[in-house]
Structures are given as structure tokens and as C-alpha cells.
Structure 1
Amino acid sequence: MQPLRGIALKLIAVMCFIAMSSLVKAASDTVPPGESVFFRSFFALPVIIGWLAMRGDLGTGLRVASPMAHVWRGFIGTCAMGSMFAGLAFLPLPDVTALNYAMPLLTVVFAAMFLNERVGVFRIGAVILGLIGVLIVLAPRVTAFGGDTIRTMEAVGAIIVLLGATCGALAQIYIRKMVATEQVSAIVFWFTCTSIVMSLMTLPFGWVVPEWDITLMLIITGLVGGTGQICLTSAYRYADASLVAPFDYASMIFAILIGYFIFDEVPTGQMLFGAVLIMLAGIAIILRERHLGIQRDKARQAKLPYG
């Protein structure tokens, strides 16, 4: 294990995803979310293929045991991506980032529902704390529903982003089931292919021919997104998940800085307070998972025969 390398790769991945979101937001005034998903996926594909070739996984890593599992994972994951991209058109970048932090909380809930994972009082309490934070972030948006047009669209955007976080959590549950029989490289590759096909289905709903500078931004979105995906996957090869996972929350720092200096967005105190609660809940769950993992390892070692 190389923990510092793992942390560095995770931070690079976080910066890539925030940069990707920023580029999509900058293009959202003229480009519909389905078209942004296409650029994000299509131009990420060469990066991913190059990565697989460097690892020697281009042949064996693309074999699948259950094609339909990849189709469903791709469908749910694409819905998550499209919802986030749609939300970026209506909400400040820090708000979208904070609401996306609901995804690991919902993953815990769905793991108990669909994977029959035991969820103790500690994790239930952490999930409740995090969902309170989500409600605090949502409150000023949802209560504005039905007011002026801008505030109504912000409310719609908040609901769309939360729907995307829900889809993202469901995708994580699907991945947990798939890794028992599928290669991680295959999951990454076929998700990208599926999202390309699905995004093309939105073509009748108002795709545009963007100006050259917007086109360049969208191409960079794919390259940066693909790089972030590779760095994220690689980070977990060099360090334990419990060590690198909390660095996800560094994205809020980047989101606030980019939102303020690029989009002239000033986060409200209420949004920051809600985001802090969500982050504390997420970190608590990560630490609890680490503790349970250590206990399981000790139990397995105790059962090993000696002599």
C-alpha cells in the first residue's frame, strides 16, 4: 500500500470532477444536459481505453459475465449524471456539491434494503444527521417553489440534483453486487459506452450546435472526467477506502472557490451549515465502516487453524 499516493490520486480525482462540473455549468446556458452527458462520455472513452491498454486489461478486462447487469448499471448511472448536469443549470455549484453528498448516506439505506446489510444504531444516527443536513440545504429552495420564475427553477433544480444523488446511490448498490462477478475495468468501460448510447436518445429533445469555445469546453469535460474516473479507481489500489474516502469532501472547498471567483456565487450560511452536517455524517459512516472492517478481519484471523 502507498497511502500518500492514494490520497494524491483521490484529490486529483476530486479536482477533475469539480472542474468537469464547472465546465458543464458554464455550457449549461446553451447546451442541454443530454448533450453534455454525450460529450462527457464520448471524449472520456479514449482516455479509458488508453488506461486499460496501459494496464494490459484491454482484452480480459472487457469481458462480462452478465451483460444486462451492465445495461442496468449504465442506465441508473447515466440518469445520475444527467440529473446532476441538469441541476447545474439552476443551482450554484456549492449547492449541487452539497446535495450530492447525500449519495453515500442513501447508499447505506439502500444497502440495508436491497443487500440485507446490517445497519446499526450508529450508522442510522449518522444517516439521520446527514439527511437533516440535506433538508437544511433544500429548505430555502423548496419553500420558494411557486414564487418567481428564477426561484421556482432553483427549487426544480434542487429536486433534480437530489434525484440524481438517489440514482447514484442505487448505482453504487448495483456495483457492489457486480464486483463479485465482473472486472472493475469492465464496469468502468461499459458504463461509459452505455452512457454514450443513452445520451444519444436525448438528441430529439433540443440538441444544439455549440459555438467553438463551448465545444472545446465540452470536449475538455470528457477528457477531465475520464481522467478523474481513472484517478478515482487507481486511488483505491494504493490506499484503504476508509483513508481516501473522506477526501471526497475537499470538493466543497474547490466548489466554493470556483463558484465565487468564476460564477460570482456566494454560499449562504444555511447552505454551509447543512453541508457541514452532511459531511460529518459521511465521515462518521466511513470511520464506522473502517472499524467494522477491522473487527471482521480480527474475527476471520481468530477462526484460522494454527499448529
Structure 2
Amino acid sequence: MTRSVSPLVAFAVAAMGIAVYSVMDAIMKGLSIASGAYAAVLWRSLAGVVLLAPVFVLRGGRWPAWVALRLHVARGATGGASVLLFFWGLVRVPMAQGVALTFLAPLIALFLAALTLGERIRRGAVLGSLVASLGVLAIAAGQVQARASEQMVLGSIAILIASVLYAGSLILLRRQAQAADPLEVALFTSIVLGGLLLVGAPWFGAMPTTVQLPAIVAAAALGSVSAVALAWAYARAEAQVLAPVEYTAFVWSALLGWLVFAERVSAWTVAGAGLIIAGCLVAVRRPTPAPQTEASL
């Protein structure tokens, strides 16, 4: 049972989680540039296990039940593939542009919920998808105007695919957060992701240098704090209430991209992000109930 809290409190905690995650994104982009996205995600995940496991054990944590374990594995695999593709793409595109493309995830989640949970797709979701599609086209138009390189285009495509996978992980997160406490969610997500990546480590991984170790630990710590905060919030508020908090990441990514990587945010990216956000807000908005008439009373 989760303790009832105000949706505003849950929203604030989720917003804090997104801000922390944005700082982690900047660190991970630097690590991915230096040693590749695969190695960066692998070592961040393993460092996360090292940081969280002792806390989990000291708090009396136990091996999860089969129902929760299945959710951990499903979300770890889905979210892991999303994270890997995202950071591979983020090496090739500005942070603000990459994050803007991930804003499609809440909208995609609505359609995935209809497919997997049998929920009815509202007209607002269809309209929102059309508006958001214009946002993606605006960002693509900006790449055409700027004569983007092939690598930048591939990076954008990778992030779009990552958004689809992330949408699936959002649905799993809601179920996962209701079946386990936030610390367990964060720990076992890292365990699953790290375990899967270890399989390919001999071919795709690389040992971190001594200089990179502080950044890896910092990324793991920030990622863990963010994961716990988001799991806590999603356990106490509906996904549609918290979905808009994802959009605060655009401000953080634009600021961090400018400060850390000297990236400029184009007007096309801002316009595209605005359209995607508008489309998602239209899609998640609940229809206003029709006023009751005397005939219906």
C-alpha cells in the first residue's frame, strides 16, 4: 500500500527526478563520447548496483516475488534498450534536440496502453499525435536546413526508436512501482540492465580509465536518485498526471548542452519541441464532462 499524498507533491518529486536525470544525461553524454554508449551505460549500471545493493540489504530488502521480478526484468530490458539507443544518438545530436524527440514517449504510451491494456483511444490522442508529428517534422526540417550530417540523422532516428521503447517502459514503471518499493525498482532495473550488457561486454565494452571513474560513480548516483524519485512519484499519482513533468527536461538539456558542450538550440528545435509538448498535452487532457440536463436527471 502506498501512502496517499497530494498530486502536487508527487509532481514536484518527479520534477526533481527529471532535473537530476538531466544532469546525469550530460555526464553520460561525455562518457559516451569518450568510450562509447555501450561501455558508458554498462559501467553506470554496474556502479548503480554497487551503490544501491548495500542500502537495499541494510533496509531488510528481500528477493522480489515472481510477479515483481517479471516486471523488473521486462522494464530492465525495455528501458535498457531505450537508454542504450538514446545515448548512442545523443552523442550525435545536441542534447536539447535529443530530449525533445523523447517527448513523443508519453503520447506513444497512450497508444501502447490501448494495445496492451485495451484502453479506448480518444479523439484527443489522435489529434495530439498529429500535432506532435508536426513537431518532429519541424526538427527534421531544421536538420535539412542546417545540412545535418548522416551521423546526426542516424542519431535522431536512434532517439526516435528509443522513445518508442521508453513509452513501453513508462507503462511498465507504473505497474512496477505498485508492486515494489522505489529502492527495489531502481536496484533491480540496474541489475537487469547491467546483466544484459555484460553478455556483450567482451565485444562492445571497454574498461573505464581512472579519470572516468568519478564521472561513472556520479552518473550512477544521480541515476539512482532519479529512479527512486520517479518510482516514488509514479506509485502515488497517475501516469497522466506526471507525464507533463517530462517536458521540464527540455529546459535543463538546453541549459546543460550550452554550458557543457557549447551547443546552440535552433529555432526549429524550440518550435518542434513546443509542438510535440502541445500534442502530448492535448492527448492526455481528459474530456470535460457534458453538463447534466433535466432529461438526464
Q: Which moved more, 1:198-207 or 1:93-102?
A: 198-207
2:35 corresponds to which of 26, 31, 48: 31
Q: Which amino acid is the alignment partner of residue 103 of structure 1? A: A
1:80 corresponds to: 82
CA distance in 1, matches of 2:10, 2:255: 24
Which runs of structure 2 are paired with 1:1-307 in the superposition (5 Å)? 1-49=5-53, 52=56, 58-59=61-62, 62-65=64-67, 67-141=69-143, 143=144, 151-175=149-173, 182-183=179-180, 185=182, 186-236=184-234, 241-288=239-286
* Alpha-carbon offset, residue 176 of structure 1: 5.3
Number of residue equivalences: 284
For 1:58, the aligned partner's letter is G
1:231 Cα shift?
1.2
Q: Distance in 2 between matches of 1:105 and 1:51?
A: 35
Residues 274-293 of structure 1, C-alpha deviation per residue, up to 9 Å, x if partnerless? Answer: 100111122233332xx68x
8 Å CA contact 1:25–1:88 kept in 2: the answer is: yes
Deviation string for 1:27-52 (max 9, x for gaps)?
A: 22221212111222222235544665
Letter in 2 for 1:172: L
> Counterpart of 2:17 in 1: which secondary structure?
helix
CA distance in 2, matches of 1:171, 1:4: 23
- The aligned residue for residue 298 of structure 1 is none
Give the deviation of 1:116 after TM superposition. Answer: 1.7
| Alignment partners' CA distance in 1, 2:272 and 2:60 | 42
Find the counterpart in structure 2 of residue 299 from structure 1: none
Distance 1:224 1:48 in 2: 12
Shift of 1:77: 1.4
- 2:295 aligns with none
Q: Is the 8 A contact 1:48 1:230 kept in 2?
A: no
SS of 2:285 mapped into structure 1: helix
TM-score, normalised by the number of residues in structure 1: 0.81
The unaligned stretches of length 5 or more in structure 1 are 296-307
Deviation string, structure 1 residues 117-154 (Cα, Å, up to 9, x no partner)? 1011112111221122123223444x59xx8xx71100
Q: What's the CA shift for 1:92?
A: 0.4
Aligned-pair identity in percent equals 20
Q: Are residues 50 and 245 of structure 1, via their aligned partners in 2, closer, same or farther at CA, if it must alter by over 3 Å?
A: farther
Question: What is the DSSP-based 3-state SS (H/G/I as helix, E as strand, rest coil) of the residue aligned with 1:118?
Answer: coil
Aligned to 1:302: none
8 Å CA contact 1:88–1:157 kept in 2: the answer is: yes
CA displacement at 1:224 relative to structure 2: 0.4
Query: Structure 2 vs 1, CA of residues 130 and 217 (structure 1 numbering), >3 Å: closer, same or farther?
Result: same
Query: CA shift at 1:112, angstroms?
Result: 1.8
CA 5–51 in structure 1, closer or farther in 2 if over 3 Å, else same = farther
AA matched with 1:264: A
- Rounded to whole Å, the distance in 1 between the matches of 2:70 and 2:234 is 26
* Bigger shift: residues 266-275 or 204-213: 204-213
Bigger Cα displacement from structure 2, 128-137 vs 76-85: 128-137
- Change over 3 Å in CA distance of 1:9–1:138 after alignment to 2: same
Secondary structure at the counterpart of residue 66 of structure 2: coil
- The aligned residue for residue 293 of structure 2 is none
36 and 162 in structure 1: CA distance in 2 versus 1, 3 angstrom threshold: same
